Structures are given as C-alpha cells and as structure tokens.
Amino acid sequence: MEDIVLSFTDYLIALLFGIVEGITEWLPISSTGHMIILDEIFKLNVSPAFFDLYLVVIQVGAILAVIILFWNEIWPFGKKNNKHPLSVSGFGSYIKKDKFILWFKILVACIPAAVVGVLLDDIIDSIFYNCWVVAIALMTIGIAFIIIERNLKLKRKRPRVQRLEDITFKDAFIIGLFQLIAAVFPGSSRSGSTIIGSLIIGISRNIAARFTFFLAIPVMLGASLLKIIKYEGGCSSGEIVLLIIGLVSAFFVSLFAIKGLMGYIKKHDFTGFGWYRIVLGTVVVICGLFGLIN
C-alpha cells in the first residue's frame, strides 16, 4: 500500500505513547484513561482503525518486559532449579509441575474476560468507550482502593496467601471475575481490578501484583491477536515504524515501572494510587464538560 506521510513529530508522539503505556499498564491507574487524554493532546497522523490497533499492539512490548523479568518464575521446563519435577527421571524431570499448575490457574482466571471479550468486544467498545464511563471507572476503583486499604489497616490481619503456589483455583477464578470489570468498563484498569479482587480475598500485595503481571501475558497477547485478526487493511512502512517505536519504548519503560512498583509495595500500600485515580477521573470529567474529549 502507499506510504502515509509521517513527520518527525509523529515518531516522537509514538515514543510518548509507548512511554505512557509502559508506565500505566502496570501501575493500577488505568492505561485507557491516560491514553484518552494523551490522544486529545497529541494526535498521530494515522487512521482511527490503525490507531486502535496501535494502542493494543504496543502492549506486546510491555508483556515482553514481564516475561523477561519473571522468566524463572513462569517458564515450566528445565532441570535447573526444578524443585517439583513431574518425575525423577526421563522427560518428566524437565517439567516443573508447580509452574504448570500456576499456568492452569492463570488460564482459569482468563476464562471470564476471554469469553466476554470474544463475544462482545465490539459491542462493549461502542457502548462504554467514552470519557464518562472512563471517569466513573477511574474514580470508583480509586475509592475502592482507599476503602480496602483502610479496612486492611484496621483489621491488621495477616494476608491468607503469601506465596504464589498458595493461590487456589477458586481464588484464580474470583480474580478473573474482577478482571472482567476491566474488560467491560474502560478506565477500570486491568491491574487495578485484579489487585483489588486479590486484596479482598486475602492475597498479599506482593503476590497480588505478581499474579496480575502473569495474568496479563495471555490476556494482552490474546487481545492483540484479536485486534490484528479484525484489522482490515495493511500497514504502510511508516505505520510499521510507529508500531516498532511504541513496542520498544513500552518494553524498556515497563522494565523500570514493574521493578519500581514491586519495590514500592514493599513499604507502601495502594492508597496513593487510589487518590491519583480520583484526581485523574476528575480531570477527565472536566475535559468532557468543556468538550475537550468525547
């Protein structure tokens, strides 16, 4: 197809979107909310269809960061550090049974959002993808973070789940139901919804964040694949460069964002993120009232 004429500014904007994606995808503050505001300020010279594809596909860069950072915790094959082999010898000695069980739990958690996403993806986007839903979702999840963290402080109760292997299949499915909130209501934040669900059922902050990261791998890769399949038309060489810039920048920024979050929650709770979401939701409402965003 004929190349779209892109300026140097478009490449800088693509870089900016990748940076914001790398930060907001992992912090429970809603990448969707930030992308909506960013899109109103900085416009890429691309078609709406390609832009929708772009926003989903650059998430692959963020996913690669998770895979690299937590490789030893999620790769289910190999003899090295295999504390739970399927068998003491033969092919089974290369299979890490505990890692396979973890992946089965992750797949169970994916079921609710996967079913709804495949069946109702276009309908959900047409009904709920607007600034008002995003603002309400931002503030609602923000308030939920504040209330839940205050209750946890008052109860001073040790979390029931302190290790990944202690997450049950029931826990995984409940977390998947909370992830469904984010699948339906833009602005809820996939990480925000799943972390809230985890905290409610007694999972520690550290393990809640880790499981959320791992859960993102099949969910976001699946969403990207679905968008690619549904995308009609090819990509110009310029658009391919935009995708590469977004992917690479999201990848490197995600490395720092994930490490930063894991270090942060060792000493702090999620209350600060709750207040941030409320402020951001308010900004979205104000922008909507003045017709700055739709």
Residue 88: the pLDDT is: 85
Go through the chain and tell me how many residues it has: 294
Q: What is the pTM of this model?
A: 0.90
DSSP state of 265: T
DSSP state of 95: B
Residue 121: pLDDT over 90: no
Q: Which residue has the tokens 């017709």?
A: 291
3-state secondary structure of 62: helix
Identify the weakest region by mean pLDDT among 66-70, 185-189, 230-234, 247-251: 230-234
Residue 274: the pLDDT is: 97
CA distances from 145 to 44, 156, 163 (A): 34, 16, 22
